[in-house]
Amino acid sequence: MDVPRKICTRCIMDTSASDITFDAEGRCSYCTSFLNTCGHVLAPDETERSRALAALVDQVKRRGRGKSYDCVVGVSGGVDSSWVLVKAVELGLRPLAVHMDNGWNSELAQNNIANLVRGLGLDLFTHVIDWTEYRSLMQAFFDADVIDVELLYDNAMLAVNYRQAARAGLRHILAGTNRATEGLDMPPGWTWNKFDRRNIMSLARRNNVRVKTFPAIGTFEAAWHALVHRTKWVWFLDYLPYRKVDALAVLQRDYGYKPYPYKHYESIFTRFYQGYILPWKFGVDKRRVHLSSLIIGGEMSRDEALTMVDGIPYPSQQDLDADIAYFLKKMNWTKAQLDDYISRPGQPHDRYGSEAVMFGRAMGIFNRLRVRPSPSRR
């Protein structure tokens, strides 16, 4: 973490992103490409956008007529997905809230979800993952030294949302993924393909883990949902004027919502992963991507963001120590095991079995057909 890095003059991306390039003014390829491809999301034609939103709402209502719900909203307890739920209800939709509990939810997140769902008078479906199996799968990912340990959560979350939609006969999953505040791409090698079921199974086999209940989804099932069932994964916040700070203020005022110090800190593992494992084992600080998106979206100044990334990705050393202790206990590790894991070099996911190439080809077809299974931007 101590090697001096070149930082973009417009956002705070730096040379920890291996493929980053800079123009003559020192502006990086990440924010430039975001502005080139998604400028319309940051400065949209509001008339056009309200028309698109009205058409979407109308379609969701029509497809859901006569059913108990008309759409699925996946909730994590974070601001983005909480806001989707609030706006969906405000627009007259009847969402089924779907949450996946992998055993790492912070109490804060549980309370936020419970308060929100109660306040809005909605049904909540929670899929609780079998913890013993999940822990063995996490152990397999740690033993393989691959970077995207969150592939497990994200893949299962996609599976649970798609399967709930299919079960309830619903065509729309409204998600908190959005371009306005998450617009910058994740650098290559920082995450892995979230539909790579084969990668999960291959790592499980490597550690002799029998997968019995883990709801993994791969390319074929994703294709089935998109092409046969015609489920749409909607980036709902792109249809609305969305400013995270304003959304947070309303959530706090009306739904007793309690904020987290950084993005995705609703899960104890996610914050430990992003705040400790990624920076120390892989030299990756995802706050650079998250905060750069907010800078380009005009929600935060570059100076503010620089101040935020200056220092450990934790509110305090004490909080970090508490999470280390929690992690060791939950995973049944010693501190020496954690130190050994952190010191080992990372390994690429496709060193093991993978269907990422096949998924890439399928995505090409999906794009031509204008159907899009969810990408994930965590």
Least distance from Zn ion to the Cβ atom of residue 22, Å: 8
Q: Does residue 288 interact with Zn ion by CB under 5 A?
A: no
**Total chain residues near Zn ion (CB under 5 A):** 6
Least distance from Zn ion to the Cβ atom of residue 34, Å: 8
In this structure, how many other beta carbons lie within 10 angstroms of the beta carbon of residue 139? 17
Q: Is the dihedral of CA 37, 377, 73, 274 positive or negative?
A: negative
Binding region for Zn ion (CB under 5 A) out of 11-19, 49-57, 159-167, 226-234: 11-19
Strand partners, 72: 96, 173
Binding region for Zn ion (CB under 5 A) out of 6-14, 186-194, 197-205, 274-282: 6-14
Q: In what order do the strands lie in the sheet with 71-74?
A: 124-128, 95-101, 71-74, 172-175, 232-235
Q: Does residue 11 interact with Zn ion by CB under 5 A?
A: yes
Q: Does residue 10 interact with Zn ion by CB under 5 A?
A: yes
> How many Å apart are CA 135 and CA 15, to the nearest integer?
34
Question: Which candidate, 259, 225, 245, 257, places its Cα nearest to that of 85?
Answer: 257
Binding region for Zn ion (CB under 5 A) out of 7-15, 211-219, 303-311, 350-358: 7-15
Of positions 7, 14, 17, 31, contacts Zn ion by CB under 5 A: 31
- The pair of structure tokens assigned to 270 is 């996610």
Q: Does residue 28 interact with Zn ion by CB under 5 A?
A: yes
Residues 6 or more apart from 41 whose CB is under 8 A from it?
179, 180, 183, 238
Binding region for Zn ion (CB under 5 A) out of 2-10, 110-118, 214-222, 302-310: 2-10
Least distance from Zn ion to the Cβ atom of residue 43, Å: 18
Helix (H/G/I), strand (E/B), else coil: 30: helix
Least distance from Zn ion to the Cβ atom of residue 10, Å: 5
Give the DSSP H or E segment for 56. helix 46-64
Q: For binding to Zn ion (CB under 5 A), which residues are involved?
A: 8, 10-11, 13, 28, 31
